[in-house]
Chain A
Amino acid sequence: MAASKRVEEGARELSPLASLAARSAASYEPMPNGHEQVDLGLPPGELLDIHRRMLLLRRLEERIGQLYAMGEIGGFCHLYIGQEAVAVGMERATRSDDPVITAYRCHAHMVVRGVAPELVIGELLGKAEGVSGGKGGSMHMFDPARNFYGGHGIVGAQVPLGTGIAFALKYRKTDRVCVTYFGDGAISQGQVAEAFNMAALWKLPIVYVVENNQYGMGTAVDRASAVSALHKRGESFGIPGQEVDGMDPVAVERAGLTALKHARSGRGPVLLEMKTYRYRGHSMSDPALYRTREEVQKVRDERDPISRVAELLVSAGVVDADQLKAVDREIRATVMEAVAAAQAMPDADPAELMTDIYSGGS
């Protein structure tokens, strides 16, 4: 396919991050749970940054899960645990002025964009200073100042929205690119195909990222999609697609850089399929009986993005296990402080019920 080839060439041209990524970029192959290879492919400082950012997301989501279990958070709450490499790798590849949009599994995408964790937690607690003033909750968070456009609850709906954002970026003749996330379940929504066609037709600056965590709620991807290679879903529109090991943050970053370069250069959309996995149920109310504990454990043992990076750092002698523990302690403390700060926020004022419906305030 000519279109895919162009991206591959882009990758070679760019080739910013060598070995670790090369191992898992083009064809998906889980990295073995060993560390025979110590070439980091990135300066150690960068890998430490990746590790730290992923660990923050993990600890934050774990704490949110606990708050939910304690009844402090209500409604639907979808955790990102297991998928951290995607958000972190892609965030490192994007520019801060590149708009991002996603579905309801959005806490992590907010935080990697630089939104303070206490604002996210405050929202989950229904607080006045929560990022949506307590009106949106877990699924509906926005921060246009940080180029984050939500936080959407209707499966697939954010895909045309992201495409519209890309339309505006092109219309205004910017060199910004919209990154639009959605799930393996969402990709079957009709409006996703409609959006793909328009984006390709008009060569819009957009990178579609399908976070293929193998399940849409309780439905495994091969029970929902006639072809399970989701990166091929754009082929009939001429959208180049690439499968990426979404449990490898360096592979994600590398693929992201290549795709963003392609889209930024006016050559139109790219579809990246991140092969990833969610460790928890679909939402807090899903007991996840459609898969075995062993299946989850195997991914945790063999592909966990945080452990993989930690092992690399240790085996390369960048840090030792004690230093990693200290980082973890520090991050846990950060999360605890964020929770305390959020809990201290005032509840949303009842008078706010009738505001924000129209631009005049109410």
Chain B
Amino acid sequence: MREAIRDAMAEEMRRDESVFLMGEEVAEYEGAYKVSQGLLQEFGPERVVDTPITEAGFAGVGVGAAMMGLRPIVEFMTWNFAMQAIDQIVNSAAKTRYMSGGRLGLPVVFRGPNGAASQVAAQHSQDYGAWYAHVPGLKVVAPFDAADAKGLLTAAIRDPDPVVFLEHELLYGDTGQVPDGEHVAELGRARVVRPGRDVTLVSWSRGVSAVLAAAETLAGQDIEAEVIDLRTLRPLDRATVLGSVQRTHRIVCVEEGWPSCGIGAEVIATVSAEAFDALDAPPRRVSGAEVPMPYAAHLEALALPDVETVVRVAREVCYVDV
């Protein structure tokens, strides 16, 4: 996965000299999570820029550079630290096209790992998907596999609008096939990663792995789950979700973040409003517990959605245990 992200950046930097990368430890250290390996060597310090630890400042610098037509890729060491910079992302990046009556667009990508890692506790383990997906003017992407990471990041860099690109530290080491040559995926399209007729399981980013595992277990219990990877959280591909629910009549949405006002809430509101008659069971969510992330490993495990819970809730909406 990390190579796929690196390759997307490198290929776009080769293709378009206005693309550059900036962030903490991106150049000489080659990324705190080793995502930018080889980039300094290939593109030099003018295009691979180490910043001081000053997120609000360099996010704003990125937005300003985009005003002049550069295409900055701003890396946050993790999205937790982007809270220092959220004003520039929301107030400057997201709103400028609208505020200028369409006269000034900002082709900037903000990227880095999002969500829980391993026992790094409350201030370093948070899912920001819902935060950014709330904001008109931003596009929000959260890939699950390596091919999508490359294809969607390439699309994000080429996109004329600001894109929030949410990676996942616990997926960086995953391996997967990436199509040879140029690979551009379309922003705003979900994907059915496993077809099924009995229940729709929706997730994105790392949640997809839990959902795929749950689908496998369910298949052994004669329940065929359809798995949807949202891939983009804004704009949300409502049509793909609704189409699936028309077939399965049941839906469970799985997210790592907190449920209140979350992505699952948005998906289920959509389904309730637009596919109410298709539903044979109340739509359900499986999500992170509504607590700051605890440190102790056994508490942390309890705070995150797991495969067993997904299986149990899927069985509940299929009414197999009653």
**A residues at B contact (CB < 8 Å):** 74-76, 123, 126-127, 132, 134-140, 152-156, 185-186, 188-191, 216-219, 223-225, 290, 347-348, 350, 352-354, 357
Contacts and interface: CB of A to CB of B under 8 A. Distances in A.
B299 A353 contact: yes
A75 B299 contact: no
A240 B25 CA distance: 31
B54 to A, nearest CB: 5
Contacts of B302: 350, 353
A134 B299 contact: yes
B302 to A, nearest CB: 5
Nearest to B83: A154
A137 B121 contact: yes
Most buried by B among A191, A218, A357: A218
6 contacts: A75-B118, A136-B122, A154-B84, A154-B123, A216-B53, A348-B298
**4 tightest Cβ-Cβ pairs between the two chains A and B:** A137-B295, A126-B296, A74-B119, A75-B119
Contact of A218 (B29, B84, B296, B299): B29
A347 B53 contact: no
B99 interface: no
B: contact size bracket: 35 or more
Given A126-B297, A137-B119, 18 more contacts: A126-B295, A126-B298, A134-B299, A137-B121, A137-B296, A139-B124, A153-B123, A154-B83, A154-B123, A185-B53, A189-B84, A217-B25, A219-B24, A219-B25, A224-B53, A352-B299, A353-B289, A357-B292
A74 B291 contact: no
A350 B298 CA distance: 7
B295 A354 contact: no
B29 A290 contact: yes
A275 B206 CA distance: 43
A322 B292 CA distance: 50
Contacts of B292: 135, 357
Nearest to A217: B25
A357 B291 CA distance: 7
Contact of A188 (B52, B83, B291, B295): B52
A184 B170 CA distance: 29
B299 A217 contact: no
B281 interface: no
B52 A155 contact: no
B21 to A, nearest CB: 16
B31 to A, nearest CB: 10
B43 interface: no
Contacts of A224: 52-53
